[in-house]
Structure 1
Amino acid sequence: MAWSTQQIADLAGTTVNTVRHYHRTGLLEQPDRLSNGYKQYGVRHLVRLLQIRRLRDLGVPLDQIDEVGADSESPAEALRALDAELTASIERLQRARVEIAAILQGSTATEVPSGFEEVASRLSKPERSLVMIYKQLYDDRAMDDVRAMIQQEPDDASVALENLPSDADEDARQQLAEQYAPALARDMESFPWLLDPTAHLSRTPQVTSDTIAKAAEALFNPAQYDVLIRASIIAWKILGRSPSDPGANPSSGERSPTADPPA
């Protein structure tokens, strides 16, 4: 008994297009054809299709089916590798569920990296965006410190910066910079790596410095950006240091809008 392409697809619980795709990839051998050109599938084709579907249901990628199939020289090894991949996927999905649960408890957590859900409400929209960028520039230990800095940051200075209009005058800018700087200086004392973050960078110092400066300039209005630069300079002076001192890193100096990651 022979089946047409539509019939074999129906029996295998798949589609005609899928059967044709398996032919193109070499997973399913071509059947004989009648004189009129119609394909004639046999039992071996049906069994092969069912085997492929079984492996696909287990999550085996198409390009690994031959390695895992019964005719493979080392199916156990291939299955162990697949099991390891599935374990990693399960762990990733479990972490995603935890993060989603945290996100459901707030309205801004999707705008911050994983682990920052609880402090998201303390950040303005530009600050949340900046923290997302920091995640690409600093290692995990540095990001843990960033989170701690956010938790310690005075709310009044942060709110004042968020509400600063772009046309704020000289006095308003300088006053806010002086209000903001002590917290920056305290962070620099509490987290010494801020003075030279090279060991905690996932990119080069130049890339980090340029990225933070460009991001802050785009995310904050001109007055806010000016205040951050002034506050950074004042914070260095409070510590009796300068970004040009030996051991100081340019990414935490005047080229960056802040002396340390949290804006």
Structure 2
Amino acid sequence: MAWSTQQLADLAGTTVKSVRYYHQVGLLDMPERAANGYKQYEVAHLIRLLQIKRLSDLGVPLSEVAAMGRADDEPDEAIRVLDAELEATVDRINRVRAELAVILRHRAPAYVPPEFAPVSRDLTDRQRSLLMVYSTVLSEKSVGEFRELLSEPDDTEAEFEALPADADDAAIDHLAARMLPVLRTAREANPWSKDPAADAPRGAKHAEQTMAEAVVQLYNPAQLRVLKRLNTLLTEDPPAPDDTTA
């Protein structure tokens, strides 16, 4: 018994177009033709077509199907490679689902790194943007430390975020003076914050340059002046402790 192209495709659960393509790329042998010119497919063609369809359903690229041999061959390296790729895909899907669960639980913007989802709703768009940049250059440990630091906001953060670009020197000095003790306390409690890029995966210099560029482009001139003033104050000697006794 011989089958037409349409009959063969129906038996294999595929399409005539696919059968013709497999002929074109050399995966399926061309059958003999009857006197009327019609192709006559036999059992061997059906078996080979089923093999091709099965491998394709498993995710094997057609470019590799020919190298995988016939049904009596042992599974080769292509199958092992495919299995490893699928394992990596499953791991990625599970990771994405876990991140989505965190985002949904905290109702955080989807673009925010999942590490910052718990605190993202209390941050401004500018702060979220900075976090996105920081998370790409800092180590996982530093990102975690940074998240913990953000979970303890203070009043000066809101003032700094609201500082207008045309703030005068007095306003800048006043805000910097108020932020200084808060920053010093944070640094004492979190030593890593003195040099958060120290263990950056691509090196401290690269991380520092990237973070600095983000700050320069995201903050307005008055805010940058506050940061510069803070840096100057931090490099100065801290005030001597009051050693008077009661």
Q: Tell me: CA distance 1:101–1:193, structure 2 relative to 1, closer, same or farther (3 Å).
A: closer
Compute the TM-score of the two structures, normalised by the length of structure 1.
0.72
Partners of 1:53 and 1:171 in 2: CA distance:
76
Alpha-carbon offset, residue 146 of structure 1: 1.0
Correspondence 1:81-160 to 2 at 5 A: 81-154=81-154, 156-160=155-159
Correspondence 1:173-188 to 2 at 5 A: 173-188=172-187
Residue 217 in 1 paired to residue 216 in 2? yes
Alpha-carbon offset, residue 137 of structure 1: 0.8
Partners of 2:59 and 2:194 in 1: CA distance:
48
What secondary structure, in the 3-state scheme, does the structure 1 residue paired with 2:148 have? helix
Aligned residues of 2:68 and 2:76 also touching (Cα < 8 A) = yes
Partners of 1:21 and 1:96 in 2: CA distance:
36
Aligned residues of 2:3 and 2:41 also touching (Cα < 8 A) = yes
What secondary structure, in the 3-state scheme, does the structure 1 residue paired with 2:114 have? coil
Partners of 1:38 and 1:239 in 2: CA distance:
95
In our comparison, the structure showing a higher alpha carbon Rg is: 2
Alpha-carbon offset, residue 67 of structure 1: 6.5
Residue 162 in 1 paired to residue 155 in 2? no
Aligned residues: 237
Partners of 2:25 and 2:181 in 1: CA distance:
65
Q: What amino acid sits opposite 1:52 in the alignment? A: I
Aligned residues of 1:185 and 1:236 also touching (Cα < 8 A) = no
Correspondence 1:34-73 to 2 at 5 A: 34=33, 41-65=41-65
Aligned residues of 2:108 and 2:118 also touching (Cα < 8 A) = no
Partners of 2:193 and 2:17 in 1: CA distance:
58
Q: Tell me: CA distance 1:2–1:123, structure 2 relative to 1, closer, same or farther (3 Å).
A: same
What secondary structure, in the 3-state scheme, does the structure 2 residue paired with 1:116 have? helix
Partners of 2:36 and 2:164 in 1: CA distance:
79
The residue that corresponds to 2:4 in the other structure is: 3
1:163-209 deviations in Å (ceiling 9; x for gaps): 22222222222222222233333333333344344541122333222
**C-alpha RMSD of the superposition:** 3.4
The residue that corresponds to 2:242 in the other structure is: none
Partners of 1:37 and 1:218 in 2: CA distance:
72
The residue that corresponds to 2:244 in the other structure is: none
Q: Tell me: CA distance 1:68–1:92, structure 2 relative to 1, closer, same or farther (3 Å).
A: farther
Alpha-carbon offset, residue 129 of structure 1: 1.3
Q: What amino acid sits opposite 2:44 in the alignment? A: R
Aligned residues of 1:69 and 1:75 also touching (Cα < 8 A) = no
Aligned residues of 2:12 and 2:49 also touching (Cα < 8 A) = yes
Q: Tell me: CA distance 1:101–1:141, structure 2 relative to 1, closer, same or farther (3 Å).
A: same
Q: What amino acid sits opposite 1:200 in the alignment? A: D
Partners of 1:229 and 1:19 in 2: CA distance:
70
Alpha-carbon offset, residue 211 of structure 1: 1.3
Q: Tell me: CA distance 1:9–1:75, structure 2 relative to 1, closer, same or farther (3 Å).
A: same
Partners of 2:77 and 2:117 in 1: CA distance:
40
The residue that corresponds to 1:189 in the other structure is: 188
Partners of 1:10 and 1:115 in 2: CA distance:
51
Aligned residues of 1:153 and 1:183 also touching (Cα < 8 A) = no
Runs of 5+ unmatched residues, structure 2: 240-246
Runs of 5+ unmatched residues, structure 1: 241-263
Partners of 2:189 and 2:74 in 1: CA distance:
55
Aligned residues of 1:55 and 1:65 also touching (Cα < 8 A) = yes
Q: What amino acid sits opposite 1:221 in the alignment? A: N
What secondary structure, in the 3-state scheme, does the structure 2 residue paired with 1:218 have? helix
Compute the TM-score of the two structures, normalised by the length of structure 2.
0.76
Alpha-carbon offset, residue 153 of structure 1: 3.1
Aligned residues of 1:67 and 1:75 also touching (Cα < 8 A) = no
Partners of 2:24 and 2:238 in 1: CA distance:
69
Q: Tell me: CA distance 1:88–1:122, structure 2 relative to 1, closer, same or farther (3 Å).
A: same
